[in-house]
Amino acid sequence: MTFEDPYLDPVSGVLRNAFGLTNKEECDRAEMRLSTMRVDELTMAPLPGPYDLAHLQAFHRRIFGDFYPWAGEVRRVDIAKGSMFAAWRQVEAYAQWVFDELKKDDYLRDLERHRFLDRFTYYYAEVNALHPFREGNGRTQRAFFQQLAREAGWQVAVHTLERGAFNEACRLSMITSADLLRELFDGVTTPA
């Protein structure tokens, strides 16, 4: 029995998209152009919401909705990038727990810097392990958490981090500890 990923074009293996692109390089370039534009718009016009899974889905839909017909939908396949992310059947329950905890933490408001960094790193790592979408999790997560941080009184310039080091810190946060991730955030966090 073979597994067929419903998000992929069966011939090219490229993610199905609104433009019918089947060349991976063309698809990647077009997706990056559109998503970068949408992320920039989010910094100018925040997306209000309760910082839960539905809000994260709204971010994904805003960023990728021009490109992927399935933007904003929780994935229905298991995915991995070096490590396995949450099983797709567990995503919604896991997300409910994570975002309930974030709410109990009052969305990180009124925290001193060291406590903010501890909790911000914790939630960032948890949502990274969740990886609720088939593609575009990193960009969605960065936009979502940068807005959350601003509303909590902090500027976390995640976009300035070196991509390789940041991705490695995110990977390690799932298998050993989030210490490196916290260290990276510490270097780019200032009062808003």
Q: Is residue 143 part of a domain?
A: yes
Domain that holds residue 59: 24-191
Q: Write out pLDDT tens, residues 41-58.
A: 999 999 999 999 999 999
Please state, in angstroms and rounded to a whole number, the distance separating the CA atoms of residues 166 and 148. Answer: 19
DSSP 8-state assignment for residue 3: -
Q: Is residue 125 included in any domain, yes or no?
A: yes
User: Residue 1 pLDDT more than 90?
Assistant: no
Is 105 domain-assigned?
A: yes
pLDDT band for 4, please (50, 70, 90 cuts).
confident
Can you tell me whether residue 37 is helix, strand or coil?
Answer: helix
What band does 125 get if pLDDT is binned at 50, 70 and 90?
A: very high
Where does the pLDDT of residue 123 fall: very low under 50, low under 70, confident under 90, or very high at 90 and above? very high
pLDDT for the residue 174: 94
Q: Which of 136, 53, 133, 121 is nearest to 93 (CA)?
A: 53
- pLDDT tens, position by position, 142-156: 999 999 999 999 999
- In the chain, what percentage of residues exceed pLDDT 70? 98
Identify whether 106 is part of a domain: yes
Please count the other Cβ atoms lying within 10 Å of the Cβ belonging to residue 170: 23
pLDDT tens figures, 63-121: 999 999 999 999 999 999 888 999 999 999 999 999 999 999 999 999 999 999 999 99
In sign, the C-alpha dihedral spanning 139, 99, 190, 42 is: positive
Residue 2 resides in a domain: no
Tell me what pLDDT residue 56 has.
Answer: 99
Compare 3 and 30 and report the one with higher pLDDT: 30
76 inside domain: yes
Classify burial at 75, counting beta carbons within 10 Å of its beta carbon; exposed 0-12, middle 13-18, buried 19 or more.
buried
Q: What is the DSSP annotation of 94-149? A: HHHHHHHHHHHTGGGTT--HHHHHHHHHHHHHHHHHH--SSS-HHHHHHHHHHHHH
Number of domains in the chain: 1
Token pair listed for 85: 């992310």
What is the pLDDT averaged over residues 26-31? Answer: 98
Cβ(143)–Cβ(42) under 8 Å?
Answer: yes
Could you tell me the two tokens for 106? Answer: 């009052």
Domain contains 116: yes
Q: Which helix (H) or strand (E) holds 191?
A: strand 189-191
Given this model, what pLDDT does residue 2 score?
A: 58
Q: What is the CATH number of the domain that holds 135?
A: 1.10.3290.10
Whether 173 and 128 have beta carbons less than 8 Å apart is answered as yes
Residue ranges of alpha helices (H) inside 45-104 are 53-64, 91-104
DSSP state of 189: E
pLDDT on residue 82: 81
Instruction: Kindly state whether residue 60 falls inside one of the protein's structural domains.
Output: yes
